[in-house]
Amino acid sequence: MNIFGGKWTEEKIDVFIKYLKAYMQILKKYPQWPLIYFDGFAGSGEIQTNEDEIDFMEGVAIRVLSLKEPRGFDMFYFVEKDQEKANTLLETINKKFPEITQKFLVWGDCNKKLLDLADFLKMPENKNYRGVVFIDPYGMQIKMESLKALQGLHLDLWILVPTGTAINRLLGRKKMSPENWFTILGDFFGISPSEIKKRFYKPSRQLNIFGETELNKIDRAVDEVAKLYKERLNVIFKYVSNPLVMKNSKKATIFHFFMASNVAIAMKIANDIVKITSK
C-alpha cells in the first residue's frame, strides 16, 4: 500500500479529480474521441492514512476508474514498478470493476512506458485518442527526455515535482562532480551541467584548498527549481498551469504539482482549480 503524506496528499488528489470531472464535461461532447488514462506510479490502490495501518483512503487509480459521469475513460493504462503493489492493484481492479475490459496494468519503469504510450498514440489508427497522463513519483525518477515523447500528442499531463525535497537536497550537496550533476539533475531537467551551475549557484568570495572559486547554492532555490521545470515543460507543451504548491506541517514547500497541455482551456481550468484550492 502507499503511505499517506499528510494534508497535501488530499489536496493533490482533490485537485486532480476536480480537473478530470471538468475535462470529462468537455469531452462528453466528442464521443468520437476515445479517451485514455495513463498512471505512471499507480501504487496498490489504497493509501494508508496512519501508522497503525487501520485507516485507508482510495488511491487515485481507484477514483479514476470510478468516474462514470459526465463521461468515463475508454482505456486505462497503469504502471507500477513494485510488483507486489501492482498485483494488489490488479486484484482490486478486477474485483471492483469487472465490467471494464480495456484496462492494462504493467510492472515496469514509467520512463519506458511513456515511450510506449507515445508510440501507441502515434499509430495512424489511434490518431483520434485523447487522454490524461498522471505522474506522481516519490522522487526524481522521470527524465525530461521521456516527457518529450509526448510532444504534439492530444494529452494533458499532471506531474508532481519534488522541488523542496529530493531536488533541493541534491542541489545543497557540497561534494558534487559535473558527472553527478549531468547524470541526475541533467536527466531530470534535460539541461547541461553548466546550465545547472548558472541557474542554481553563485560564486563565493572564498577559494577552496586548490585555489578554485567555490560555488554556493542561490537563495530561494526551490522557487528557481519550480520556475525552471515550468520552462522545460513549456518546451514540450504549449501551456503550463500555475502549480499547486504543497507544504509540510512546518510550512516548508515540498512539492509543486503542474498541469501541461496543448489546449488553452485546459490550462484555464487547471489554474482556476489550483487558485481556489490555494486560498
- Reported as a single tens digit per residue, the pLDDT across 18-29 is 999 999 999 999
Instruction: Kindly write down the DSSP assignment for every residue of 166-231, as one continuous string.
Output: IIHHHHT-S---HHHHIIIIIHHHT--HHHHHHHHEEEEEEE-TTSPEEEEEPTTHHHHHHHHHHH
Rg of the chain, C-alpha, whole Å: 20
For residue 171, which amino acid is it? Answer: L
**218-239, pLDDT tens digit by residue?**
889 999 999 999 999 999 999 9
Distance CA 239, CA 235 (A): 9
Residue 33 belongs to some domain of the structure: yes
Number of domains in the chain: 1
Percent of the chain with pLDDT over 70: 87
Whether 203 has a pLDDT exceeding 90, the answer reads no
Domain range spanning residue 23? 2-165+221-278
Residue 215 belongs to some domain of the structure: no
Residue 257 sits in a domain of what CATH number?
3.40.50.150
Mean pLDDT is lowest, of 62-66, 120-124, 166-170, 200-204, for 200-204
Q: Taken in order 128, 23, 41, 61, is the CA torsion positive or negative?
A: negative
Residue 105 belongs to some domain of the structure: yes
pTM of structure:
0.91
Residue 57 belongs to some domain of the structure: yes
Residue 192 belongs to some domain of the structure: no
